[in-house]
Amino acid sequence: MAIAVEHEDVEALKFWGIGLEKVTERCVFCRTETRHWHLPSNTPVCECCSGEREADELPVKSRVAC
């Protein structure tokens, strides 16, 4: 099954003060610039890789305790 991704919302970009011309992240797999995200893991994944990869292939982000 493919990875479910959502396109980064224009209003969210405005909220964070980021212009629409700026792509903010690169796909975790192929490093292509993207505005698509796997929301549960907060991970950027391009549309191409989202169709070819599985969610269990996403890297696990470790949390550092303060």
Domain, as residue range, for 29:
6-56
Convert the pLDDT of each residue in 12-65 to its tens digit.
777 777 666 666 789 999 999 998 999 999 999 999 999 999 999 999 876 566
Query: Is 66 a member of any domain?
Result: no
Query: Is 31 a member of any domain?
Result: yes
pLDDT computed for residue 17 by the predictor: 75
Task: Tell me how far apart the alpha carbons of residues 58 and 66 are, in angstroms, rounded to a whole number.
Answer: 25
pLDDT computed for residue 9 by the predictor: 78
Task: Give the list of residues 6+ apart from residue 52 with CB closer than 8 angstroms, or none.
Answer: 2
Query: Is 62 a member of any domain?
Result: no
Domain count, the chain: 1
Yes or no: say if 37 and 44 are a contact pair by the CB < 8 Å rule: yes
Query: Is 65 a member of any domain?
Result: no
DSSP string, 13-65: HHHTT--TT---EE-TTT--EE-EEEGGGTEE--HHHHHHS-GGGSPPPP---
pLDDT computed for residue 49 by the predictor: 97
Query: Is 47 a member of any domain?
Result: yes
Query: Is 45 a member of any domain?
Result: yes
Query: Is 63 a member of any domain?
Result: no
